[in-house]
Amino acid sequence: MEASAGLVAGSHNRNELVVIRRDGDPGPKPPPREQNGQVCQICGDDVGLAPGGEPFVACNECAFPVCRDCYEYERREGTQNCPQCRTRYKRLKGCQRVTGDEEEDGVDDLDNEFNWNGHDSRSVADSMLYGRGGDPNGAPQPFQLNPNVPLLTNGQMVDDIPPEQHALVPSFMGGGGKRIHPLPYADPSLPVQPRSMDPSKDLAAYGYGSVAWKERVENWKQRQERMHQTRNDGGGDDGDDADLPLMDESRQPLSRKIPLPSSQINPYRMIIIIRLVVLGFFFHYRVMHPVNDAFALWLISVICEIWFAMSWILDQFPKWFPIERETYLDRLSLRFDKEGQPSQLAPIDFFVSTVDPLKEPPLVTANTVLSILSVDYPVDKVSCYVSDDGAAMLTFEALSETSEFAKKWAPFCKRYNIEPRAPEWYFQQKIDYLKDKVAANFVRERRAMKREYEEFKVRINALVAKAQKVPEEGWTMQDGTPWPGNNVRDHPGMIQVFLGQSGGLDCEGNELPRLVYVSREKRPGYNHHKKAGAMNALVRVSAVLSNAPYLLNLDCDHYINNSKAIKEAMCFMMDPLLGKKVCYVQFPQRFDGIDRHDRYANRNVVFFDINMKGLDGIQGPIYVGTGCVFRRQALYGYDAPKTKKPPSRTCNCWPKWCFCCCCCGNRKHKKKTTKPKTEKKKLLFFKKEENQSPAYALGEIDEAAPGAENEKAGIVNQQKLEKKFGQSSVFATSTLLENGGTLKSASPASLLKEAIHVISCGYEDKTDWGKEIGWIYGSVTEDILTGFKMHCHGWRSIYCIPKRPAFKGSAPLNLSDRLHQVLRWALGSIEIFFSNHCPLWYGYGGGLKFLERFSYINSIVYPWTSIPLLAYCTLPAICLLTGKFITPELNNVASLWFMSLFICIFATSILEMRWSGVGIDDWWRNEQFWVIGGVSSHLFAVFQGLLKVIAGVDTSFTVTSKGGDDDEFSELYTFKWTTLLIPPTTLLLLNFIGVVAGVSNAINNGYESWGPLFGKLFFAFWVIVHLYPFLKGLVGRQNRTPTIVIVWSILLASIFSLLWVRIDPFLAKDDGPLLEECGLDCN
């Protein structure tokens, strides 16, 4: 991709494609060797140099200019002849052998003689797209066993593996030391002649060993024997001998699971069981002892308590198996990223999504992009795609400025290893920035870089100020061309590559990661599916341009706080034992700019440090929308790979007739299901499910019959792929490449055209996008649905908590913004509840585990708790006003159950805080906001969800504001009125009035009425204390008067006023004893 190609805008449906170049850009510069004729006449790329530094020459007869890639492709897949003189290409040094190569003098290239990298699924995918096969005739060649290969095991069974699979194939090292295991198949296109070898002889006799190698093997055997001997003697746990490793360090696991200590988890589980038992006795008492004079209050309270108990069960039991994990970055480097060798780490594509630059400031997005471009990862493995769903020219120009500043910022970060790599937060942190810095010029360069960043901020602020007033004729670009996105609801798709392979080097001349601006096409009459649709468009664009096997999505306000976070995720994704079944690695969300007390529980510490750790011990955490590394194949709706079960073993102690019965039963069953061989092959192809693996899809082509049937099967298979993934053959073919990578035979111009095609507004029509593929549609919380579908396909997820937080973002400080954010989350859960993907009835019989389903059910049911919660918070005020209560007078047994229940509730919370490390302040803030959000945002979400389902009234999506004022926490005290504030305010007033009325009633009725009053007051104060943060936000600063003073002043003033009226110290007593006149005349 040309980084200087300009903005590409177009519409596939309208057959439009326009290239708009920036001001002062005359167009793409010719290659430096075009004037000398050194341009490949097949693909148009630079011919390049040979390993010796000389110009690469493919044909020694006519010197026809062909690059090395086309030369190798022609030898491997084509006619193997020069296009000009028709002379057969000879094998050059460093190239693999193909059929027909002759032994040449002076060419002894043992390192590349058995290079099999070209014969993988990429060749099959390329043949599907361009009609090329594995031989000159174009027909793919299936793998077959070679009967002439000698067996190293001499026909004996080894480790339950049949002898025919022990064919000796010389093992070799492929690509940076990655171990390639011997393959039991031989490719007909590679005439590798295995040598006959005697297993009793030394391998050095055949050139496969040396004296040093023999000594190394002998030393390893001795260490193994010593290690086993030490273990047998019972002294293998002291770890004093450093020479007794289990295996080489680079082959050890990249991560490990750390279960919690039994001293912490066992009491926690015991108290949960005890709490369940106490709940049973509590409800038995509550149901069997109704309150006759307040039956309605009693019935409402019992129903609410039963609902709370069910909600607690759904929330509690997914936390039964909490675990922690540990990664080993040094082992990852030893295995895949050795110094001085090409990196074998997997490529990764970053997704950043933004909509409104006024609510999501461009400076915030720029910091996120800068942290991505300077991440500690090989630059050729990183691509960053920014989705501008608002088609704002402000975002486009800000991204252009960001790409220029990145050329200075990225080398500075990597040179001095600074953290974090978002400049705004790096220069704001109040720490000793000279710690661990030894370079003499660091201070000078840091000051210069800070000045550069301040100038960059001024340029961004100037763009923002300019964008406040939109011209009547719309925005125009620097060259005078009208901005294609002037109409936000009707504009073509736009793609701009700012940084890439052939442009955008940093100030030190090093390559920078690819940076691509994407704005998908918008037309009236189409449902664009908001953020989920934008993410799916990025999936398709990235598959066409870079097609990395892993993806990471970030909100525009979440920057990379730990530059090694991607390597942390790769410790799980690239683990040979665990990685194949991992669909995504979720990182916890951490936030900057939150007040010290976290008034509105923005940090969500209880959820991220307790609930998510519990889910990690079952099938993995749920997807929370940002800070998540995905496996691309899992997003395509494929099933997780099945774990091969070991062969079953029989026991000799069973009687023989048992085996006879089993065998007879199996034979009868097999006879019933026996079908002709041709029918089996047809079923193998046509009974394919939508979610099978790409390897199976490729296997179907090989399984088909040769000749015309094979060609027909390939056509049908390609039609199925296009029906599932869309009408782009380039994208459909890329889905078959499990390890990622793009097709080399495609030109950059054709890739750009396909990229515009896949972001067209009608591309997803009549496909599985949003139903089975990508981000799932049907809810504003598309993250829950997407993770749920993956878990239903049998995948598992991983929860990774590095010591240094991986990502940090901004949270809404204002009470109204926070409630609107919670409203959106709750509304999404209600939409899932009424959809076809509801966890209550969807996904049975798949790969979703039972306790994992509990957590998903809880994630969609929790908004309904707002109805019983609102009723329960109203009961104290009603009881205080009416003088009645929800329970009868308690006897000793009833008091025991009530006290036991309260003790179990507190004990469960304390033990949770103990094993998770969550502080009591964070736990209490979470409890408070559970009540605040439950009686406001959750309640409105329930009614809005019902209106949408019953009446079809849709709700608009509100983007949470990401910007704040210059004054720290100034927005925390800003009062913004919204209807969400009505229910909590009403509850507060009712309970305050109830407290005042209850106290006055007790004062009027005398000493005996104070006893029953305490239970009602405790109930009312429970509500008031939980709503206290809401009251504090409602009152605001009040000239910095503490809110608690105002609250208690009102409460105490009301009580003392009632006491004053009751005592009446300055008035005569009129209600004294009545004296009657005596009837006797005493005089």
pLDDT digits (tens, 9 = 90+) for 830-863: 989 998 889 998 888 888 899 999 999 999 999 9
| Residue corresponding to tokens 């229940």 | 901
808 annotated among ligand-binding-site residues: no
Q: What is the pLDDT of residue 106?
A: 46
Residue 1077: pLDDT band (50, 70, 90) is low
> Dihedral of CA 454/459/462/463: which sign?
negative
Residue 605 predicted with pLDDT over 50:
yes
Task: Write the secondary structure of 1025-1041 as one string of H (helix), E (strand) and C (coil).
Answer: HHCHHHHHHHHCCCCCC
Residue 1079 predicted with pLDDT over 70:
no
Residue 937 vs residue 186, higher pLDDT: 937
| Mean pLDDT, residues 214-219 taken together | 66
Q: Which residue in the list 126, 609, 783, 922 is annotated as catalytic?
A: 783
Element (H, E) at 809: strand 807-810
**pTM for this structure?**
0.73
Residues 97 and 114: their CA atoms lie apart, in Å, by: 7
Angle (CA) 95-125-97 rounded to 5° is 15
Q: Which of 100, 140, 92, 96 is nearest to 117 (CA)?
A: 96
Q: What is the pLDDT of residue 724?
A: 86
The single-letter code of the amino acid at 533 is G
Structure tokens belonging to residue 134: 């594995």
Q: What is the pLDDT of residue 693?
A: 52
What's the DSSP call for residue 768?
S
| Mean pLDDT, residues 1-9 taken together | 65
1057 annotated among ligand-binding-site residues: no
Tens-place pLDDT, residues 527-576: 888 889 999 999 999 999 888 999 999 998 899 999 999 999 999 999 88
Which of 360-364, 467-471, 1022-1026, 1038-1042 has the least mean pLDDT? Answer: 1038-1042
Q: What is the pLDDT of residue 881?
A: 83
Q: Which of 321, 184, 318, 335 is nearest to 248 (CA)?
A: 335
Residue 130: pLDDT band (50, 70, 90) is very low
353 annotated among ligand-binding-site residues: yes
Q: What is the mean pLDDT of the chain?
A: 75
Contact in structure between 370 and 409 (CB atoms under 8 Å): yes
Q: Which of 764, 714, 754 is nearest to 736 (CA)?
A: 714
DSSP 887-935: S----HHHHHHHHHHHHHHHHHHHHHHHHH---HHHHHHHHHHHHHHHT
Q: Is 389 a catalytic residue?
A: yes
Q: What is the pLDDT of residue 11?
A: 72
Structure tokens belonging to residue 1050: 């009102």
Q: Which residue in the list 389, 575, 616, 639 is annotated as catalytic?
A: 389
Residue 407 vs residue 79, higher pLDDT: 407
Tens-place pLDDT, residues 670-715: 444 444 444 433 333 333 344 555 544 444 333 333 444 455 455 5
531 annotated among ligand-binding-site residues: yes
Q: What is the pLDDT of residue 158?
A: 40
Contact in structure between 311 and 854 (CB atoms under 8 Å): no
Q: Are strands 582-586 and 796-799 parallel, antiparallel or unpaired?
A: parallel
Residues 581 and 583: their CA atoms lie apart, in Å, by: 6
Q: What is the pLDDT of residue 715?
A: 58
Distance set, CA 642 to CA 223, 580, 849, 982 (Å): 36, 10, 15, 53
Tens-place pLDDT, residues 758-795: 998 888 888 889 888 999 998 888 889 999 999 999 99
Residues 917 and 865: their CA atoms lie apart, in Å, by: 28
Element (H, E) at 238: none
Residue 294 vs residue 347, higher pLDDT: 347
Q: What is the pLDDT of residue 646?
A: 57
555 annotated among ligand-binding-site residues: yes
Classify 634 as helix, strand or coil.
helix
Contact in structure between 619 and 938 (CB atoms under 8 Å): no
257 annotated among ligand-binding-site residues: no
Count other C-beta atoms under 10 Å from residue 161's C-beta: 11
Residue 1065 predicted with pLDDT over 50:
no
Residue 1031: pLDDT band (50, 70, 90) is confident
Provide the β-strand partners of residue 263: none
State phi, psi for 417 to the nearest 5 degrees.
55, 55
Q: Is 575 a catalytic residue?
A: no
Element (H, E) at 353: strand 348-354
DSSP 503-566: B---TTS----EEEEEE--B-TT----HHHHHHHHHHHHHHHHT--SEEEEEETT-EES-TTHH
CA 806 centroid distance within chain: 13
Tens-place pLDDT, residues 968-1010: 545 555 556 678 888 888 888 888 888 888 888 777 776 666 7
Q: Which runs of E-coded beta strand occur in 563-676?
A: 582-586, 590-592, 628-631
Residues 802 and 814: their CA atoms lie apart, in Å, by: 29
Angle (CA) 294-299-300 rounded to 5° is 105
616 annotated among ligand-binding-site residues: no
Residues 435 and 438: their CA atoms lie apart, in Å, by: 9
Residues 759 and 779: their CA atoms lie apart, in Å, by: 21
Residue 1055: pLDDT band (50, 70, 90) is low
> Dihedral of CA 761/764/765/771: which sign?
negative
Q: Which of 666, 826, 798 is nearest to 256 (CA)?
A: 798
| Residue corresponding to tokens 């204390």 | 1025
